[in-house]
Amino acid sequence: MNQSCETPTIRLIQDVAQKGVINMARDESLLTFVGDGQSPPTLRLYEWSEPTISLGYFQKYAEFDRLSPPAGDMPVVRRQTGGGAILHDRELTYSLVLPTDYPPIRNKPTHLYDIVHRALIATLENYAVSAVLCGTSDDSGPTRGPFFCFARRHALDVVISDEKLAGSAQRRTRHAVLQHGSIVVERRFKQQPAAVTGVSVDTLRKQFPTEISDPLNVEIKSGDWTASELENAAKLTVKYAGDEWTRRT
């Protein structure tokens, strides 16, 4: 007798716009709960309630201190992930948290960069936006490279006419991987990259999960936070709002 295999699922959280400290705390909370097996694999889509600079894990705070206004006057948070700083404003940010033994990325978490970025390219193709993978890398690394992420180049970055549109960064624990990245829909500051013109955040929120489900061979199902996840995130906001974490290097 044939036994049917149920398609694995990923929970989709369509989150509201929040301040940077809350966004970072919620991402870390998901990493902890998915890693502990208390929460399912999760795709979170979110926005930022105010223009904010996020520093990569290894960046020196003094680099932010040297920024000129308006970027230098913005709230600043430090991410769990590496890479360069990002000026978050009018964009859609995604975070995808999976167990490290998840089939498509088992033994190769970096494959998730390729999966997600090709899904973004496919999303944009639906709206006649021509984006491609960069194909070449510069000398940037976790501890070196231009201050802003979008001035760096990696072969798997998404570009439009050679301008970087999207990149991603990861944080890995023994049991889970967090990958997140930003898709700018309107450029208001010179430190921001190319923007997707003619495609709204609402459109990306609807189409992107559809395009990412096939390469991951999963069903994306709308869900919500658990009380425990939010309680943990609320505790973590103290960390992200404090100097000990933000100015740590």
- Residue 198 has what pLDDT? 87
Q: What is the mean pLDDT of the chain?
A: 91
Separation in Å, CA 109 to CA 43, 60, 152, 160, 162: 16, 26, 21, 25, 26
Q: For residues 7 and 69, give the distance between their C-alpha atoms in angstroms, rounded to a whole number.
A: 49
Are the C-beta atoms of 11 and 223 separated by less than 8 Å?
yes
- pLDDT at 4 > cutoff 60: no
Separation in Å, CA 33 to CA 18, 111, 226, 227: 20, 22, 10, 12
Residues 6+ apart with CB under 8 A from 210: 123, 220
CATH of domain 9-236: 3.30.930.10
Q: For residues 156 and 138, give the distance between their C-alpha atoms in angstroms, rounded to a whole number.
A: 12
Strand order in the sheet with 168-172: 168-172, 176-186, 90-99, 42-46, 9-14, 219-222
- Residue 47 has what pLDDT? 98
- Residue 1 has what pLDDT? 39
Pairing label, strands 168-172, 176-186: antiparallel
Element (H, E) at 42: strand 42-46
Q: For residues 78 and 58, give the distance between their C-alpha atoms in angstroms, rounded to a whole number.
A: 9
Q: What is the mean pLDDT of residues 2-10?
A: 71
Q: How confident is the model at residue 125 (pLDDT cuts 50, 70, 90)?
A: very high
Please give the radius of gyration of the chain, using alpha carbons only, rounded to the nearest integer.
17
- pLDDT at 128 > cutoff 80: yes
- pLDDT at 52 > cutoff 80: yes
Kindly report, residue by residue over 67-98, the tens digit of the pLDDT.
999 999 999 999 999 989 999 999 999 999 99
- Residue 5 has what pLDDT? 63
Whether 149 is a known active-site residue: answer yes
- Residue 167 has what pLDDT? 87
- pLDDT at 50 > cutoff 60: yes
- Residue 151 has what pLDDT? 77
- pLDDT at 161 > cutoff 60: yes
- Residue 2 has what pLDDT? 44
- One of 77, 86, 105, 149 is an active-site residue; which one? 149
